[in-house]
Amino acid sequence: MPIQVSSSVLQFADDFKMFRVIRDAQDFQQLQDDISKLLAWDEWQLRFNISKCFLMHLGPPNEYGEYNIQGTTISSSDTIKDLGVLTDDNLKFHSHATSVISKANQTLLFGRPFISQITTCLLLFISLCLDQQNIKNIQRRATRTLAGLKDTTYTECLRILGLLSLQYRRLRGDMILDGAAI
C-alpha cells in the first residue's frame, strides 16, 4: 500500500498514517490524490473505516481546503490516540497524562468501599505507581526519538530539550501544594 502514494506513511498492523508538508495548493492536492489512491487500492480487499479517519494539522492552519474521502469531509481533531497514547497537535502528551491520572483516580474511588485489607490497598498503590513509571518511559522514548538524540541519555535529552524530569515536576508540585495548605 505505501508504494501507491507519494506522501510519507507510517504503518503498524491495521493502523495507517499518511503525512505531508503542505506548502502550497499543489502539496494540498497531492495529499488529496494520495488519499484517493489509498481508497482505490483493493489488493487485499480491505476497506477503510471512514469513521475512524481523522486529520490533524501540525503548524499553521490549512488554507487550501478540506480533505475528503468519497465525498465526505475528513474530521479534523486536535488530539489523536495513536497506539493507546493521546497526542495533541503540539505533539504534547498532556491529554494522555490527564487521562491516565483520571483513570487512576476513578480506580481509587471505585475500589474505596471494597478495600478492607492492607494487601489490597498495597497492590492498588503499586499499580498506580507503575502507571507513573509507564508515563516516565513514554517521556524517555519520546525524547530519544527526536532527531539526533537516539544514543543520548535521558537526563541529557531533558537538558538539551529544556525539559524537567517527571520526578522533579512531581516533587515541585508536592512542595507547592504543601505550601498552599499552610
Look at residue 32 in the predicted model and tell me its pLDDT.
92
Q: At 129, which amino acid appears? A: C
pLDDT over 60 at 21, yes or no: yes
Local confidence band at 29 (pLDDT 50, 70, 90 cut-offs): very high
**The cell 499543489 sits on which residue?**
26
pLDDT over 60 at 146, yes or no: yes
Look at residue 28 in the predicted model and tell me its pLDDT.
92
Quick one: what percent of the chain has pLDDT higher than 90?
5
pLDDT over 70 at 112, yes or no: no
Range with the poorest average pLDDT among 7-16, 52-61, 113-122: 113-122
131-160 CB burial, b ≥16 within 10 A, e <16? ebeebeebbbebbeeeeebeeeebeebbee
